[in-house]
Amino acid sequence: MNFRKDSRRSKNQNNDEQKKVLDKCYREFVRVNRKFFDAQLPTPVIALNQRFTARAGAFYPRTKKIALSWKYYLAWGLKELLGVLRHEIGHLALPKEGHSRKFKELLEKLEAPRYSKPFTKHPFRYEWECPNCGVKHWTRKRVVLACGKCCDRYNQGHFAKNFQLQMVKELRPRRPPSKNL
Ligand SMILES: [Zn+2]
Ligand SMILES: [Zn+2]
């Protein structure tokens, strides 16, 4: 799904859609709570945050509130947002664990992502790889670039053809993974 700007939609359209999305979120919570926690988790307040542009979701342990980014939903759609919700439900279930191993194991069970996708308006088109160290890089345009790390390390910081990034994929407009949730 392409990034859509909030402002292109009318207020009512947004309100209706937000209600629907929130409803789906609460249903997802009930489903996950029944399936994995014997319905023992307290129901959190789930809210859609209009301003989150760098984080997809957050859990506030003191108030047991889960906030999810509306812009993330607009960029990536419901399925991805529900993934973020399951991640935050993981924090609700293990509030003192942070991102510990135990927490990560729970995420796997919940089929929840560890990272969110970035919020960029500009989708990347090309995926590149360093032939030496295998590091990946994404760009919007075709470029001639060499791996900075390898050039620094083995060529005194100068461009070296040996380390020229090789294009490995042309992507449909997409963004690379990133960001801790
Ligand atoms: Zn490299
Ligand atoms: Zn987290």
Please count the CA atoms within 13 angstroms of the CA of 83 that sit on its side-chain side.
17
Q: Burial, 107: exposed, middle or buried (Cβ in 10 Å; 0-12, 13-18, 19+)?
A: buried
Which ligand is nearest to the Cα of residue 95, counting in written order? 2
pLDDT band at 60 (very low <50, low <70, confident <90, very high): very high
Q: How far is the CA of 107 from the centre of ligand 2 (A)?
A: 10
Which ligand is nearest to the Cα of residue 180, counting in written order? 2
Q: How much is the average pLDDT of 163-175?
A: 80
Quote the CA–CA distance of 14 and 155 in Å, as a whole number: 53
Predicted confidence at residue 125, as pLDDT, reads: 83
Contact 157, 175 (CB under 8 A): no
Q: How far is the CA of 49 from the centre of ligand 2 (A)?
A: 16
Q: How much is the average pLDDT of 49-70?
A: 92
Residue with tokens 């607009």: 74
Mean per-residue pLDDT over the chain, rounded: 87
Return the closest-CA partner of residue 148 out of 137, 124, 179: 137
pLDDT band at 129 (very low <50, low <70, confident <90, very high): very high
Backbone angles phi, psi at 15, to 5 degrees: -60, -45
Residues with Cβ within 8 Å of 108's Cβ and at least 6 positions away in sequence, in order, are none
pLDDT band at 75 (very low <50, low <70, confident <90, very high): confident
pLDDT above 90 covers what percent of the chain?
61
Q: How far is the CA of 180 from the centre of ligand 2 (A)?
A: 7
Fold for 6-110, please state it: Zincin-like (3.30.2010)
Q: Which residue has the higher pLDDT, 175 or 125?
A: 125
> For residue 21, is pLDDT > 90?
yes
5-9, 123-127, 159-163: least confidently modelled range: 5-9
Evaluate if pTM is beyond 0.75.
Answer: no
The answer to whether the Cα torsion of 71, 72, 74, 78 is positive or negative is negative
Q: How far is the CA of 164 from the centre of ligand 1 (A)?
A: 8
Per-domain residue ranges for the chain?
6-110, 124-174
Predicted confidence at residue 6, as pLDDT, reads: 42
